[in-house]
Amino acid sequence: MNELGSIWRRWQGHLVIVGIALLILLIWRFGLQPTITAVAESSERELAQQLPTLEPQATADSLLFGTSELPIVDDNSLIPAPNPRTFEGKLPQHEFITHTVVRGETPNGIAEKYGIEPETILGGNPRLSEESSLLQVGTVLTILPVDGVLHDVQPGDTLESLSLQYGIPVEDIIAYAPNNLEFPYRLEPETQILIPGAVRELFVWTPPDLSSVGGTSSEGGSVRPIIVGTGTFIYPVNSRNYTQFFWYGHPGLDIALAEGSPVYASDTGTVTYVGYNNFGYGNLIVINHGNGYETFYAHLSSFNVSPGQIVYQGNVIGGTGNTGNSSGPHIHFEIRINNNRDNPCWYIGC
């Protein structure tokens, strides 16, 4: 007994601890767990009722993965730019057909063949308005699948800036599937996107009016012309070798002939411009006919008149040439009425 009592005194503390641990384990396992769990769930519900209700907000990450309606983000947005290590935008996936110009074709005829407007020929081939030879036989044209403008993306271009430039809603540009645009809609320089429904704007140079030349007087706020034309027009050169007719992308008539050939005043009027023009015309003469009409004679090699001079229908005013945006000797002839360019063939009978 003395030995057992000694052992008990030695280990009684440990045995008590072990017993208490076993009791707690049994109670937890078989008795109190459901109650504790219920208390915890009740506490969570009470806490949720006490907290204010928060509306869910879309984040940049959720937008990227399509969990909310895609917004259009401009350059001033607080949404950070994509990390170049984790974000890579898609490139446009355009498929165009080409057309090789054959003898006798016109922009209007080509456009009709492909079911597009003539303006769209210029929309896919901007240089057509710069040089007459670009629409000659053998020229290869890019044909757009829909009416619009093929835009070369420049650094700094955004959908918003292009929308303002062409007057087309941003949504329409995004909706054109081959543009392959996705949020955050950042454009890649040195790529091309198609602006559906857009028309490429042409620059129209305005010549000096009659008030800029000598011998005119101003009465009642308008300039009285020195002389008024006949209202009829003659051919400006002795040739019918047309290299390009009038259309949206080329609002004039090109006639090829040897350099130095005489150029005639198509009608009587006052010369308002003589000199080199930096907007593609090269050496240019403009005659104001005093009745709302003006005639233009471009790409000349020589001048026989000066500003302010009166000329009569049929007078030689200069010689044909190859100056400005030109790839061969010819004359570019325009007729304007109240500064609106009209088809010369309606006046001189091409």
Q: What is the pLDDT of residue 56?
A: 45
Give pLDDT tens digits for 174-216. Answer: 999 999 998 888 899 999 999 999 999 888 899 998 988 865 5
pTM beyond 0.85: the answer is no
Banded model confidence at residue 346, pLDDT cuts 50, 70, 90: very high
- How far apart CA 302 and CA 27 sit, in angstroms, is 115
**3-class DSSP string for the chain:** CHHHHHHHHHHHHHHHHHHHHHHHHHHHHHHHHHHHHHHHHHHHHHHHHHCCCCCCCCCHHHHHCCCCCCCCCCCCCCCCCCCCCCCCCCCCCCCCEEEECCCCCCHHHHHHHHCCCHHHHHHHCHHHHCCHHHHCCCCEEEECCCCEEEEECCCCCCHHHHHHHHCCCHHHHHHCHHHCCCCCCCCCCCCEEEEECCCCCCCCCCCCCHHHCCCCEEECCEEECCCCCCCCCCCCCCCCCEEECCECCECCEEEECCCCCEEECCCCEEEEEEEEECCCCEEEEEEECCCCEEEEEECEEEECCCCCCEECCCCEEEEEECCCCCCCCEEEEEEEECCEEECCHHHHCC
Q: What is the pLDDT of residue 64?
A: 43
23 against 73, higher pLDDT: 23
Q: What is the pLDDT of residue 9?
A: 67
- How far apart CA 329 and CA 55 sit, in angstroms, is 73
Banded model confidence at residue 36, pLDDT cuts 50, 70, 90: very low
Banded model confidence at residue 8, pLDDT cuts 50, 70, 90: low
Most confident of 126-130, 177-181, 238-242, 311-315: 311-315
- Quick check: 170 pLDDT over 60? yes
Q: Which of 100-109, 110-119, 176-185, 298-307 has the lowest mean pLDDT?
A: 100-109
Find the mean pLDDT for residues 66-81. 47
Give pLDDT tens digits for 246-265. Answer: 988 888 999 999 999 999 99
Determine if the peptide bond prior to 184 is cis (ω within 30°).
yes
Could you give the percent of the chain with pLDDT greater than 70? 73
Q: Which domains does the chain have, with CATH numbers?
A: 97-196 (3.10.350.10), 210-348 (2.70.70.10)
- Quick check: 229 pLDDT over 70? yes
Banded model confidence at residue 11, pLDDT cuts 50, 70, 90: low
- Quick check: 238 pLDDT over 80? yes
Banded model confidence at residue 82, pLDDT cuts 50, 70, 90: low
